[in-house]
Amino acid sequence: MDYKKLADFIFPDITKTIEDYEKEYSERGDVTVTRYAPSPTGFMHIGNFYSVVIDYVIAKRNNGIFYLRNEDTDQAREVEGAVEYIMHVLNHYKLSPDEYEIKGGDTKGSYGPYIQSERKDIYKCFIKYLIAEGKAYPCFLTAEELEVIRDNQAKAKSRIGIYGKFAKYRDYPVDDAIERIKNGEQFVVRLKSEGNFNHTFIFNDLANGEMKLHEDDIDTIIYKSSTELPTYHFAHLVDDHLMRTTHVVRGQEWMASVPVHYNLFKTFGFKMPKYIHTPLILKKDGEQVRKISKRLDPEARMTYYEEKGYPIYSVIESIMTIANSNYEAWREGHPDADFTEFEFSAKKMSPSGALYDLDKLDNISKNYISRLTKDEVFEFLDEYTKEYDPEFNAIINKDVDYTKAILNIEREQKKPRKDYAKWEDVKPAISYMFDELYNPTYEWVNITDMDEIKSILDKYINNYYNESDDKETWFEHVKELTESLDGYTSNMKEYKENPDNFKGNVADVSTVIRVALTGKNMTPDLYEIMKLLGKNRIIERINNIK
């Protein structure tokens, strides 16, 4: 059959050849090339981020290239600003791509366009070649016909799809096809699969190991005349080939498409890139372990981490920790190293899924934040609140030294306090230090009788509080106060031996002072807090207790 005639008829304007493109997109040499290839749906799942981190680590460890490709062939799903959002996330986490393109905007790299809808002619050239070779064909099956085929296959319990005898247009006469297209009929182009389902091939996934898979004999759709765009499968083949991708890191859900991709690469005789199908991200939900879900779990969306104010370091660490189980041990030995220095191994990923845990993230983050200086904490907090809490931002900026002094309580010391996992945690933890936010619900414990409380506080302020006391003297005075009260002891040993003999001890008395000044029964160092509050505010707050 005159397939060339058919190819020329369908794509009369396509004059370039595959060889032309091979020259244009020259080999990159011995360079590792990874990519993130999102569909612009305006959403980024933690699983996507996981793949990005792996892409980035693999590229950077090998001084390679990490690029971003906008896979917008399904234009119905496209959301405006989606790629800008993805770029924002990548830049925010300092995982910026070396090559990328923003629609109507900035672009970098010489393997573009990096937007699939701008690569129509390239795809058409590859499809034209296949049609001319008799390896692909236009198919006119209607939606109704496809449904009937599918129903019959389901009833007969056969494999679903257009293959073998169901591939009605495989050998359709060229002139008839041309006639139908001339009459304005829409069509799709299908690959004329040479696969045999009864044959298997070995596929070696870097994370999942060696697998024996069935060849694909389905005449997969590779192009749609209605949009003049290829399907994902075909675009992936052409782009990853021409952009010289060496490693495809993508979600586990694409594993099922491997036989299709194997078939396509084989048809063209192109070398397949290496594949890492990333394990699913799992979460513990009560007794059960399940896939993390964007519907049920707010932490499945990348917006969550920015809104809460998780430091980028913590989020990346938590991902690296689930990627390779030896990462934590490595980190202990290399506390200051960049995560890209870790010798990531795809083989060490757990194919059965990666258990993600917010408590773990919080732990990592608390440790990290506890080691920051007050200046660093202030800077992060300032940046976060500017965007997410402008009112608090104005408050912390009124007297920056005062705010930093608060942030420095039990910080910049050998065993710093680990109380913040994210910047959102700071405001509720220190709001009592700012009069404009101070609105106490007094958390009295052990000593709860208001007359008793008031008499303790009166005595303290009048006889034992001295603004200029150093820490030791300050505590001596609290002890003396305790001894002076009827039924209280400052001797904890004595108290513990016979608690029933006492109304309270020195800790209870300190708690009364703490609650009176902050509303809370648990705070960082009370002496430091009092130093920062100063005499006037201490007296005012104590006088406010009714």
If one asks whether residue 101 binds ligand GLU (CB under 6 A), the answer comes out as no
Smallest gap from Cβ 107 to ligand GLU, in A, equals: 19
CA distance 420 to 427: 10
CB nearer to ligand GLU: pick between 97 and 309: 97
If one asks whether residue 38 binds ligand GLU (CB under 6 A), the answer comes out as yes
If one asks whether residue 37 binds ligand GLU (CB under 6 A), the answer comes out as yes
User: Helices 312-323 & 46-61, crossing angle to 10 degrees?
Assistant: 80
Smallest gap from Cβ 282 to ligand GLU, in A, equals: 19
Contact with ligand GLU (CB under 6 A): which of 39, 153, 227, 350?
Answer: 39
CA distance 120 to 138: 17
Question: How many beta carbons lie within 10 A of that of residue 2, not counting itself?
Answer: 14
Residues between 59 and 88 with contacts to ligand GLU, criterion CB under 6 A: 71
CB nearer to ligand GLU: pick between 2 and 74: 74
Q: Which residue has the tokens 């299908």?
A: 190
Smallest gap from Cβ 336 to ligand GLU, in A, equals: 33
CB nearer to ligand GLU: pick between 275 and 488: 275
- Structural tokens at position 363: 């732990």
Residues between 115 and 144 with contacts to ligand GLU, criterion CB under 6 A: none
CA atoms within 13 A on the CB side of 500: 0
CB nearer to ligand GLU: pick between 38 and 504: 38
Q: Which residue has the tokens 């800008």?
A: 84
Smallest gap from Cβ 250 to ligand GLU, in A, equals: 3
The residue among 114, 111, 170 whose CA lies nearest residue 139 is 170
- Structural tokens at position 437: 């936010």
φ, ψ at 288 (rounded to 5°): -95, 150
Q: What share of the chain is helix, strand, coil (3-state, %, to 5)?
A: 50, 10, 35
Check if the beta carbon of residue 505 is closer than 8 Å to that of residue 489. Answer: yes
Q: Which stretch binds ligand GLU (CB under 6 A): 32-40, 363-371, 512-520, 522-530?
A: 32-40
Residues between 236 and 295 with contacts to ligand GLU, criterion CB under 6 A: 236, 248, 250, 254
CB nearer to ligand GLU: pick between 132 and 235: 235
User: Helices 258-268 & 232-242, crossing angle to 10 degrees?
Assistant: 50
Smallest gap from Cβ 38 to ligand GLU, in A, equals: 5
For residues 198 to 237, the per-residue mask of contacts with ligand GLU, x marking binding by CB under 6 A and - elsewhere, is ----------------------------------x---x-
Cα torsion at 44, 46, 51, 53 (round to 10°)?
100
CB nearer to ligand GLU: pick between 153 and 257: 257
Binding site for ligand GLU (CB under 6 A): 37-39, 71, 232, 236, 248, 250, 254
